[in-house]
Amino acid sequence: MKQSKHYMPTPKEIPLVTLSKKAEQETYPKGRYTKMTGEDHITPVVEKVYGKEKNPIHPEKSERLIQWKEVVENPKLLEDFVGQFTDYELARISVCAKNGWGMEAKGEAGMLYVSEKYNTPEFVVADGNNGVNLRIENIGFPTSVTVCATFNEELAYKTGATIAEEAKEHEINEILAPAINLHRNPLCGRAAEYFSEDPLLAGRMGGQQSRGLEEHGVVSCMKHLLANNCESSRLRNNSIMDERTLRELYLKTFEEAFQVQIPSTVMTAYNAVNSVYCAESEDMLQGIFVEELGFDGFVMTDWTSSDTCDIVNAMAAGNGWITPGGMDDTQTMQLVEGIQNGRIDRKRLEKSVYRMMKVILKFY
């Protein structure tokens, strides 16, 4: 872990009042809710570029197309494999192809776009903090908060391991879990998936579940980055906090989990933190998770985040997979245009796709 820097600053134009028992009248919330200020779309307060992206792709390009089968046989070809993709092909694979939520399907949350040109593999993800969330018979495990109440890390590990075994039986490559946000609001609709109100306990137990999944051959996805604790207007909620709150509560959970298991993937939250949508936060994705915590996998948005966040900003910030996407080219062409007009550095997109394919190759 590298030395911390100041990331995700509090917006200067929004006055911040920190809760204090010593000043209840002055600091405790009044009324039923606080209306978020600003326009419907939250624009970044601070724009940062984390240096020049080191392009992992070799500049030389062969006229002969490298196929996925060759990469499986020789993983050193992965850089050249991704480097031969056109702008469109990079963008297309960065958008989830489809899901299995229709009446005829079994309930998969998302599937990677399969390129016939390169014979890329199928890669299927499913929800499943407490089991494999499909529309077929499967084991229902106790909720995460129940498992967490045992304070038994071995049990959390075995839960992940058993879910992984069942996932493989149903041809699921990745489980979108563990969800390790804190219990900060009793009205949060995802509370049953989350582990605890304590960052240390939630991090340790969630990390063990992630380790159980990955050591038994299934990709894990820690979520939701960050401070996803409100169900009302969750697609546009704005969490304003000072750096101490950010570091000692919300980030602490993931920091502890990463000490147990650095997951292969992470998922960004719907909400904003300090007026920047999490899906668009380069400070969070590149500054904190990559530079500080050592994350080297790929990032995905939460499903339908694109209803509020800007997917071009998200990809430029280091998000790697837009979900739930679709087989039409609507979102794909937005990313292509983003590359062509300079809003997305092609090297950043190459690196995201490279990391995605590296994860798939590891668990292939």
Q: What is the pLDDT of residues 203-212, one digit of tens each?
A: 999 999 999 9
Q: Name which of 44-48, 118-122, 218-222 the model is least confident about.
A: 44-48
What pLDDT does residue 39 have? 44
Residue 41 clears pLDDT 60, i.e. is over it:
no
Residue 91 clears pLDDT 60, i.e. is over it:
yes
Residue 28: band (very low, low, confident or very high) from pLDDT cuts 50, 70, 90: low
Residue 18 clears pLDDT 60, i.e. is over it:
yes
Residue 57: band (very low, low, confident or very high) from pLDDT cuts 50, 70, 90: very low
What pLDDT does residue 87 have? 97
Residue 174: band (very low, low, confident or very high) from pLDDT cuts 50, 70, 90: very high
Pick from 257, 339, 244, 334: nearest CA to 293: 257
Residue 56: band (very low, low, confident or very high) from pLDDT cuts 50, 70, 90: very low
Percentage of the residues of the chain whose pLDDT score is greater than 70: 88
In the chain, alpha helices (H):
24-27, 68-73, 78-83, 87-93, 144-148, 153-169, 199-214, 243-245, 251-260, 282, 311-317, 330-340, 346-362
d(CA 7, CA 314): 17
Percentage of the residues of the chain whose pLDDT score is greater than 90: 73
Summarize the confidence of residues 246-272 as an average pLDDT.
97
Assess contact for 134 and 170: CB atoms under 8 A. Answer: yes
Summarize the confidence of residues 120-134 as an average pLDDT.
94
Summarize the confidence of residues 307-328 as an average pLDDT.
96
Residue 265 clears pLDDT 70, i.e. is over it:
yes
Assess contact for 93 and 353: CB atoms under 8 A. Answer: yes
Cβ neighbours around 75 below 10 Å, total = 14
Pick from 209, 221, 219: nearest CA to 162: 209
Q: Which residue has the higher pLDDT, 20 or 68?
A: 68
Q: Whole-number mean pLDDT of the chain?
A: 88
Residue 261 clears pLDDT 50, i.e. is over it:
yes
Residue 189: band (very low, low, confident or very high) from pLDDT cuts 50, 70, 90: confident
Residue 229: band (very low, low, confident or very high) from pLDDT cuts 50, 70, 90: confident
Assess contact for 207 and 166: CB atoms under 8 A. Answer: no
The CA-to-CA distance between both ends of the chain, in Å, stands at 28
What pLDDT does residue 138 have? 87
Q: Which residue has the higher pLDDT, 228 or 219?
A: 219
Assess contact for 360 and 338: CB atoms under 8 A. Answer: no
Residue 175 clears pLDDT 80, i.e. is over it:
yes
Summarize the confidence of residues 78-103 as an average pLDDT.
94
Residue 262 clears pLDDT 80, i.e. is over it:
yes
Summarize the confidence of residues 183-189 as an average pLDDT.
83
What pLDDT does residue 118 have? 97
Assess contact for 107 and 133: CB atoms under 8 A. Answer: yes
Place of tokens 């009324």: 31
Topology of domain 67-362 in CATH is TIM Barrel (3.20.20)
Assess contact for 271 and 239: CB atoms under 8 A. Answer: yes
What pLDDT does residue 43 have? 40
What pLDDT does residue 289 have? 97
Q: Which residue has the higher pLDDT, 340 or 101?
A: 340
Q: What is the set of active-site residues?
A: 302
